[in-house]
Structures are given as C-alpha cells and as structure tokens.
Amino acid sequence: MLEELSQDILDVGMNAAQAGARLLKVRVTENGAKDTLTIILADNGRGMSPELRAQVLLCFRTTKNNHNKNLGLGIALLRQAAEECDGRFHLFTREGMGSIIAVQMRRSHIDRPPLGDMAASIAALCCTTGAMRVHYEHRCENKKIVFNSGELFDSDLDLNALSAKEMIAIETILNEGEMEIRKVCPDTIAA
Amino acid sequence: MDINDLKKLRDEAKKDLELRSGEHAYKITISMGTVGIAAGARDVMKAVIDELAKREIDDIPVTITGSLGFDDQEVVMSVESAEGEKVTYARLDTQKAREVVARHIDGGERVKEFIVGIAELPGNTEENAS
C-alpha cells in the first residue's frame, strides 16, 4: 500500500499517460454526511482489452513476466485501498476508448489513507512526457476547486514542457485550493 | 496567484524553453512508476524543481515517465543533454537529487557516485530535422 491516496492517484494517472491519453480527468469528492470519499480517474488513452483488464485487477501477478509496460500494480493497489475501507471499485474500459476508474470508500474508516499531497501529485501529472492535459476537480461539502492544465497551452499538441517556476506556480495554486477545502473538511478524521 | 498569473508566467517561460539550445541544454526525466512513487519519487521531483528555481534555472524541462527499468534502484532520474548523451542516476533521495541539479545541471559535471548508466542517443533527429 502507498502511504497516501494522492500517490495512488499519481500512479494510476501515469498509466493514462502511458496509454497515450490526451486528457486525464481526476475528480475527488468528499461527502461528510454520507461519509464517503470518491475518486474518479477518466482518460481517453487506448483503453484495455478484456484480457488486459482481467490482468491488471490481479494483484502482484502481472508486472514482471509481462513486458507490456502499461500495466502495473497501481490499479490493484488502489483497489486494495478502497476495499479495505468498506469501499467499492469499478474499472470501465474498452479498447480504443479509454478507461474510467472509480473508487469509493468510507471516509472515516480507520484504515483509510490520507489523501495527502494532492497538489504535488496533480502538478506532477501535468508534466508527463507527451501532451496529456489534466483536468482536476476536488469537492468537499460546498467547496469546489477546479484546475485545468489545458488552459496553459495554446494547442492540444504542445508537449508538456514547463519551467521550474511554472511548476512551482501550479503547485502553489493547487495548494491554495486544497487549503480552502481543508478548512471545511480536514484530511484525516481521527485525531 | 491564479490561473491568469500562471498564463502570464507561461508566456515568459515559453520564450526560455524555445531557446533551449542555450547554456543549460538539458532535459530531466524522473521515473514515476509504482515503485518509484513508493520510494519517494514525488518528493525528489519537488526537490529538483525547488533547486532549479533557487538557482533561477528556467530553461530546463522536467518531465515524468513510467518505470525506467531500475525498480530495485529507485528513485531514478535521467539527465539528457542537447548532444544526446543520457546519464541515468539511481538510488536518489531529495538531497542527492539536489546535488545532481547543482553539479550536473548547473555545474556541467556528472555526479559519478550516483550514476547507473550512460547512453549516447542516436542523434537528436527531431532537432536535426528543423
């Protein structure tokens, strides 16, 4: 297990980049009344065949003997994290159409990892090799933040090449948003 | 700071990045697969960016990629020069990564202690074509 859910999001988001996605949508929704934390990752990469889909769901079975670099432990780890927290996991995918991964878990579950440094994960996903744009949304109660890396580029084809100054600026913007959210709902429930 | 400030910054930075054949002609790639992330690749990336910014080096693109194939030696980061030489560093932590930025990127000297591989790329075809 990874320490933070934001690391799982980075990990699974990297799969999208490697699947040639042009767009990755990440949506995190926290609902205090229903006590749920929902993470949805949707990409328009090349998707998975039914065989590949079955493989990626099998934890620790696939990486070493299979030289297909587009699959790894990431999805299995996120699934495990969700299921250990009274959660649910869904993977919808079709070859040539992209993939949607949706997990929901009990927000107050004692084993739920903190979301952690979302700003760093999203900022990192903004500079994958290639031209994948990231659309990020984080909602909690009545607060909502949205960040779209596509707004930074003139054309959809521009490769992600950001300067250090820009990356720090992206992280600052994201962090300011996350802090607003954390004012209304703290990351970890238990003290 | 908001997205409009960022766009302004982008316009300034674009000029720098387009003139990438200058003094700091490197490209940094950090391995960000599952193992890399677990080993702290995200923190290494933050350290690299911070160190670049501190040194006011703004013409070096930093990108992330999937596993580079050194899973037992994460965190892995490669520094590619405009001439096509690719130096791969391994077993990095934030401190070592800062050292690579200071000595290799800023100083132009390879950091021998952390190197796992050096490869000459077969010409920079894209740049030659233009």
Q: What is this model's ipTM? A: 0.85
The closest alpha carbon to A41, from A18, A63, A24, A59, belongs to A24
A93: which strand partners? Answer: A99
DSSP at A114: P
> Smallest CA–CA separation between B6 and chain A, in Å?
7
Give the residue-averaged pLDDT of A112-116. 92
B59:A168 CB<8 A: no
Choose the mutation target among A163, A175, A178 for the interface with B, i.e. most B CBs under 10 Å: A163
How far is A37 from A85, CA to CA, in rounded Å? 10
**Which pLDDT value is given to residue A103?**
95
Contact A114, A5 (CB under 8 A): yes
Check CB contact of A161 with chain B, cutoff 8 Å: yes
Q: Among all residues of chain A, which has the CA nearest to that of B1?
A: A173
Q: How confident is the model at residue B77 (pLDDT cuts 50, 70, 90)?
A: very high
**A23-74 tens-digit pLDDT:** 999 999 999 889 999 999 999 999 988 888 888 877 654 444 445 444 567 8
**Which pLDDT value is given to residue A152?**
82
**Which pLDDT value is given to residue B24?**
56
How far is A102 from B85, CA to CA, in rounded Å? 41
Check CB contact of A59 with chain B, cutoff 8 Å: no
Q: How confident is the model at residue B16 (pLDDT cuts 50, 70, 90)?
A: low
Side-chain-side CA neighbours of A108 within 13 Å: the count stands at 8
A176:B5 CB<8 A: no
**B36-53 tens-digit pLDDT:** 999 999 999 999 999 999
Phi, psi of A102 (to 5 degrees): -130, 125
Check CB contact of B65 with chain A, cutoff 8 Å: yes
Burial of A40 (0-12, 13-18, 19+ CB in 10 A): middle
B6:A18 CB<8 A: no
* Structure tokens belonging to residue B123: 């010409």
pTM, two decimal places:
0.86
Residues in chain B within 8 Å Cβ distance of A11: 32-34, 37
